Chains A and B, each alone.
Chain A
Amino acid sequence: MIPVISVVTGALFALGLALSGMTQPAKVLGFLDLFGSWDPTLMFVMGGAIMVHAPIYWLVVRKRPKPAFAQAFSLPVRRDVDKRLLGGAVLFGLGWGVAGFCPGPALVSVSTLTPTVLVFVGAMVAGMVLFHEIERARGDARHRAEHGAAAGRPTA
């Protein structure tokens, strides 16, 4: 069931993004153009999403011991704000404001095959992979420092 639900919700998500106007970068940049000609559309999109998701979370999800087809909810537990969260948000926002793309709309738009979308998605994937490699290398370095160079790769 999980694959079916995942495909269906992915498609529904794509439909929501397209209907809402968020696959038009001009509308997204219009929202970020706070000091220019401001377009509040994105605010309505996020508002509409939260108006549906928040009640379901608080009134339904929170009352359930587990999801329908899995052992447990995979919800984040951290509540602290750290440098990684802030730094990541700054980098993300800076990139978002260049062309008006964030991950969801970019992926949904891939089949337009425009150079802009393809370059953006390619670079985004590259950025993610690069980040994973840097994290892994730092993890390895830390492990070697703690256990000595012969210890090799961490098992975790």
Chain B
Amino acid sequence: MPSTYLWALLGGALIGASASILLLYTGKVAGISGILGGTLPRGAVGREPWRPWFLVGLLGGGALLVALRPEAFAAGPARPLAAVALAGLLVGVGTRLGNGCTSGHGVCGMSRMSPRSIISTMTFIGAGVASVVVGRMLWGLS
């Protein structure tokens, strides 16, 4: 198996382990859109400090990794910043409206065989595929 797939499996296993530890010890779901959204104004009912602490680990871990392994963060194909801004808005609104993203629905929800998460994951992957097709047709995006 090519090493890139082995690293993918290993990295995925670490993500799964992280979600498992969080669930076993704190009872919380490692869904990043919910963790970020729940930290923002009017994002959740009541104070739940575990969310900002998780973000500290996520951002801090990221900072360390960017410093030690910058090649793991190689930039993707160039996109106009206006398109990137639109993309961010869509992801921000969409993940809150749909109650999750690739981690919350894709990893945690699908592991629990949640019908909502299975349908959501299939839908957002489908929409992602469509987005790439449209991007190529409309703007010749690579």
Contact = CB atoms under 8 A, between A and B. Distances in A.
Interface residue range, chain B: 35 or more
Contacts of B98: 84-89, 91-92
A91 B88 CA distance: 10
A2 interface: yes
A88 B128 CA distance: 12
Contact of B92 (A5, A111, A127): A127
A144 B19 CA distance: 41
Contacts of B55: 10, 107
Contacts, number: 477
B14 to A, nearest CB: 3
A32 interface: yes
Interface residues of A, number: 115
Interface of A: 1-3, 5-26, 28-29, 32-36, 40-42, 44-54, 56-57, 60-61, 64, 66-76, 78-81, 84-104, 106-112, 114-116, 119-133, 135-136, 156
Interface of B: 4-5, 7-30, 32-33, 36-37, 40-43, 45, 49-51, 53-67, 69-70, 72-77, 79, 81, 83-99, 101-103, 105-112, 114-116, 119-121, 123-133, 135-136
